[in-house]
Chains A and B, each alone.
Chain A
Amino acid sequence: MPEVAVALWCIAGFLGAGVVGAVLGNRPFATPLVYGACLAIALLGVLVALGVLFGGAPATAVVLPVGLPGIGAHVRLDPLAAFFMLVVDLGAAAASLYAIGYGRHAAEPRRVLPFYGAFLAGMNLVVLAADAFTFLLSWEFMSLASWALVVSDHRSSASLRAGYVYLLMAGFGTFCLLLAFGLLAGTSGDFTFAHLRTAGAGETATALATMLVIVGTGSKAGLMPLHVWLPLAHPAAPSHVSALLSGVMTKVGIYAFIRLVFDVIGDFSPWVGLVVVMSGGGTAVLGVLYAVMQRDLKRLLAYSTVENVGIVFIGLGLALAFRANGQGPAAALAMTAALFHVLNHAAFKSLLFFGAGAVLAGSGERDMEKLGGLVHRMPQTAVVFLLGCMSIAALPPLNGFVSEWLTFQAILLSPQLPQWGLKFAVPAVGALLALAAALAGACFVKAFGVVFLGRPRSPAAATAHEIDAFGLTAMLTLAWICLAAGTLPGFVIDALAPVTRDLTGSALPAQASLPWLSIVPIAESRSSYNGLVVFFFLVASGSFTAIAVHRVASRRTRRAPAWDCGYPLDSPLTQYSGASFAMPIRRVFATVTFGVHETVDMPRPGEMRPARFRLRVRDPAWRFFYGPLARGVERAARRLNRLQFLTIRRYLALVFAALVVLMLVVAAWR
């Protein structure tokens, strides 16, 4: 059986699991049954994808006799699709395993189970679709299924609002993609990707379609300023679904961008690369700055997703610029960096959302100002969450560092671009990337330090309990993936070679056969990195020192109260809170960027009321972009309201005028 058929059976399996969930619904055994089935199917999907990536088999395609009559649904499994299928199904497998245990906390499983299967099926189908109709249909299917999951907690007004914003943005994105396909296909009526590749729409139409694709897919991936739905919607869903939304669905948006721009449109000017690089850099920095300000753990993670999407888009923009100038090897490096980061982010962001879910299940809190000290109550979760934090903060020897290192190497190739604007802009974006990486470090010191370290800030945190074995296994697996991808990056890069060869016409040299398993993207005299050796040295020197000190010097330890400067005040509220941790960064970066508003209400001596400190942070996208937009729409609506109270003769006149204008346009067009 060809691989694509197996992949399709997987999709059918996911749908079937969804149906089972809908039918059996609230029975107690339905939850483990559905998630277990999804786990098995997703693992099968992972195997298929790995087979395609490593097997080197040619792309397989079939036409299904469903969809529009006479056209059918085209599906195709090439290396790019296989890679994203791997990301999707890896995330799906981990989430399903996690949910076998975690799903029992769901109040109404019937509101989650059916859509869970449908959501997984939708994401897989987007990746496989090979004509515009199937693509858009599965894209909408995925959006709607995920929307249903976002509003599964239908009693909370926050998740309803999140669902509303998400629905608007998803609809807007699909609309943009629809227009883009229309522009690309012209009047031929053939909407298969194979045809669109060769159709060759005019230069203006192609440029416009490229911009529409950036907007349409960027709104799903979370590119600024189209990210606003993401920090609302991702935290609203149950945690395993949050992991899928953040770790996987944003990747489907990135897949759509790569598929449409690199593959289907195929020829573009280098300036598109500049646009994408710049918006990626801005997204990365603003996203992580926002993440630092959050006090809700899941929102922090969602904003950090925005940051990572920005990093991926920096790589993609570089790949665009290099490819448009015919510099294949450099484009392959940038593309490898972006795809590597896609895989990494899927792994560690899922892990972190699982950790947040564990905290939520164990303590009932996700407000960081009420947590603390969980390392004592949830020791295993703490270890894996720490690994996730270190990965996402791009610390060697873990995987986040490898992909950012590759991105830096690609940025360092920018002087060979012939456009002067790009020569200057790309190093500036490199500085933004470095800033984002450093701020991510601060952000995840805050996340881990405030939630897991210190003393519990509320009774809920003091009595938290560890999560079940399924959840721990899922998190541990992802943590191992992070470590493996960080120490043995050569194998990942080799697996990406067929993908980059398809997209940029060239690939990085084979890495796995290099001595000592180091990675050398261009030439050894230029740059090389060896995660395995660094990891080995870290472990060796750390344990050598520890053993030496314990043996030779002293190993005596005494427990004593912490130093209190002579003022015994053991309220845990005297600790640094999340907001106070972020204060220096807020002062330095955010007052200008975000218009952070701090008010201190200090009672005068003798007054009995408590002092209050209020902090208001608003997303600038709302203030500068959506606020005016909404007001404009409202004003226009009020204007147009008058149209409801016209006489019939005037209505007829309007219709007639519209008709004449349209005819004039048609006449002028030809």
Chain B
Amino acid sequence: MSTLWFDIAHLFAGGVLVLSLALLYQDRITAVINVFALQAVVLSLSVAWQSVVQGAPHLVATAVIALVAKGLIIPTALHRIVRKLDVHREVERAIGGGPTMLAGLGLVALSILLVEPVVDTADPVAREDFAFALAVVLLGLLMMITRRNAVTQVVGFMSLENGLVLAATGAKGMPLVVEVSVAFSVLIAFIVFGVFVFRIRERFDTVDVNVLERFRGERREHL
């Protein structure tokens, strides 16, 4: 493979990772959704490029699914939810912005540290994609942990799934079925989350998941 082809693949995969960190940095919910949409677009570009590089036409389908479902439908739906429910526009953080970013950087370093020596002999593209993908998954988890708001948690989960797609396309020969099923399950998860958000909102007048915990009696009074 020529270096330019490699460089472009590297650029797209790295772009997905950088956008994951950008998701962590955002303060406003609408900005979070927009960055997420951008991440989906970059992801689909990356997948499309991989389909050219690997000569695997079925990856085009994955790219289209990513672009349409996560680049268009889901962000639009999320924007609608935010507007309709009149959610608080600021992202409510459980941990401050600075420490979250530092933790995110640490996770990126950790995933590179883990993947790099293990698959030293593998194809460099697969190795890189794997490191990036692991980092994206971890950052998605971090986002779910550190945000109070259900909408941002949904976005965190979706971006986690983006990481899974990235990992799947980096490795050659991942069958389409797996991706379709992953995409489908995420869609279902999204619907569940959507219903869940509406239900919380109906009952508690807020989408802060802490309220839910209090309802379950998990939180002690002195907290």
Cβ of B117 within 8 Å of any chain A Cβ, yes or no, is yes
Smallest Cβ distance from B98 to chain A, in angstroms?
8
CB neighbours (8 Å) of B116 from chain A are: 420
In Å, the complex CA distance between A428 and B109 comes to 10
Do residues B113 and A421 form an inter-chain contact, with CB atoms below 8 A?
yes
In Å, the complex CA distance between A505 and B106 comes to 35
Q: Which residue of B lies closest to A425 (CB)?
A: B109
Do residues A424 and B99 form an inter-chain contact, with CB atoms below 8 A?
no
Smallest Cβ distance from A205 to chain B, in angstroms?
30
Cβ of A646 within 8 Å of any chain B Cβ, yes or no, is no
User: Which residues from 37 to 93 on chain B have a C-beta closer than 8 Å to any C-beta of chain A?
Assistant: none
Interface string of B112-143 (1 = CB under 8 A from A): 11001100000000000000000000000000
Smallest Cβ distance from B40 to chain A, in angstroms?
30
Q: Which residue of A lies closest to B116 (CB)?
A: A420
Smallest Cβ distance from A50 to chain B, in angstroms?
45
In Å, the complex CA distance between A536 and B71 comes to 58
In Å, the complex CA distance between A420 and B131 comes to 14
CB neighbours (8 Å) of B96 from chain A are: 592
Do residues B99 and A420 form an inter-chain contact, with CB atoms below 8 A?
no
Q: Which residue of B lies closest to A423 (CB)?
A: B113
Q: Which residue of A lies closest to B114 (CB)?
A: A420
User: Which residues from 579 to 593 on chain A have a C-beta closer than 8 Å to any C-beta of chain B?
Assistant: 592
Closest 3 CB pairs of A and B: A424-B109, A420-B113, A420-B117
Q: Which residue of A lies closest to B106 (CB)?
A: A428
Partner of A592, one of B99, B109, B113, B117: B99
Smallest Cβ distance from A260 to chain B, in angstroms?
31
Taking A424-B112, A424-B113 as known contacts, 9 extra A-B pairs with beta carbons closer than 8 A to each other, sorted by chain A number, are: A420-B113, A420-B116, A420-B117, A421-B113, A424-B109, A428-B109, A592-B96, A592-B98, A592-B99
11 A-B pairs (CB sep. < 8 Å): A420-B113, A420-B116, A420-B117, A421-B113, A424-B109, A424-B112, A424-B113, A428-B109, A592-B96, A592-B98, A592-B99
Q: Which residue of B lies closest to A421 (CB)?
A: B113
Majority-rule SS of B interface residues = helix
User: Which residues from 407 to 459 on chain A have a C-beta closer than 8 Å to any C-beta of chain B?
Assistant: 420-421, 424, 428
In Å, the complex CA distance between A424 and B108 comes to 11
Interface size on A, residues (CB 8 A): 5
In Å, the complex CA distance between A420 and B117 comes to 8
CB neighbours (8 Å) of A424 from chain B are: 109, 112-113
Smallest Cβ distance from A434 to chain B, in angstroms?
15
In Å, the complex CA distance between A420 and B118 comes to 11
CB neighbours (8 Å) of A592 from chain B are: 96, 98-99
A-B residue pair count with CB separations less than 8 angstroms: 11
Interface string of B146-161 (1 = CB under 8 A from A): 0000000000000000
Smallest Cβ distance from B114 to chain A, in angstroms?
9
Q: Which residue of A lies closest to B117 (CB)?
A: A420
Smallest Cβ distance from A14 to chain B, in angstroms?
49
Smallest Cβ distance from A596 to chain B, in angstroms?
15
In Å, the complex CA distance between A428 and B113 comes to 14
CB neighbours (8 Å) of B98 from chain A are: 592
In Å, the complex CA distance between A312 and B184 comes to 57
CB neighbours (8 Å) of A421 from chain B are: 113
CB neighbours (8 Å) of B99 from chain A are: 592
CB neighbours (8 Å) of A428 from chain B are: 109
Q: Which residue of A lies closest to B105 (CB)?
A: A428
* Best-surrounded residue of A420, A421, A428, A592 (most CB of chain B within 10 A): A420
In Å, the complex CA distance between A65 and B96 comes to 65
Interface string of A464-506 (1 = CB under 8 A from B): 0000000000000000000000000000000000000000000
Q: Which residue of A lies closest to B98 (CB)?
A: A592
Q: Which residue of B lies closest to A419 (CB)?
A: B117
In Å, the complex CA distance between A592 and B96 comes to 10
CB neighbours (8 Å) of B112 from chain A are: 424
User: Which residues from 141 to 198 on chain B have a C-beta closer than 8 Å to any C-beta of chain A?
Assistant: none
In Å, the complex CA distance between A43 and B116 comes to 56
Smallest Cβ distance from B101 to chain A, in angstroms?
13
CB neighbours (8 Å) of B113 from chain A are: 420-421, 424
* Best-surrounded residue of A421, A424, A428 (most CB of chain B within 10 A): A424
In Å, the complex CA distance between A428 and B116 comes to 18
In Å, the complex CA distance between A237 and B7 comes to 62
In Å, the complex CA distance between A225 and B117 comes to 34
In Å, the complex CA distance between A424 and B110 comes to 9
Smallest Cβ distance from A605 to chain B, in angstroms?
33
In Å, the complex CA distance between A428 and B102 comes to 11
Q: Which residue of A lies closest to B112 (CB)?
A: A424
In Å, the complex CA distance between A576 and B132 comes to 48
Smallest Cβ distance from A286 to chain B, in angstroms?
16
Q: Which residue of B lies closest to A588 (CB)?
A: B98
CB neighbours (8 Å) of A420 from chain B are: 113, 116-117
In Å, the complex CA distance between A182 and B56 comes to 67
Interface string of A303-317 (1 = CB under 8 A from B): 000000000000000
* Best-surrounded residue of B99, B109, B112, B116 (most CB of chain A within 10 A): B109
Smallest Cβ distance from B53 to chain A, in angstroms?
28
In Å, the complex CA distance between A592 and B116 comes to 33
Smallest Cβ distance from B107 to chain A, in angstroms?
12
Smallest Cβ distance from A143 to chain B, in angstroms?
39
In Å, the complex CA distance between A428 and B117 comes to 19
In Å, the complex CA distance between A424 and B116 comes to 12
In Å, the complex CA distance between A421 and B117 comes to 11
CB neighbours (8 Å) of B117 from chain A are: 420
Interface string of A556-575 (1 = CB under 8 A from B): 00000000000000000000
Smallest Cβ distance from B207 to chain A, in angstroms?
28
Smallest Cβ distance from B93 to chain A, in angstroms?
14
In Å, the complex CA distance between A592 and B109 comes to 23
In Å, the complex CA distance between A428 and B106 comes to 10
Q: Which residue of A lies closest to B99 (CB)?
A: A592
Interface string of A326-339 (1 = CB under 8 A from B): 00000000000000
In Å, the complex CA distance between A592 and B98 comes to 11
Smallest Cβ distance from A420 to chain B, in angstroms?
5
Smallest Cβ distance from B127 to chain A, in angstroms?
13
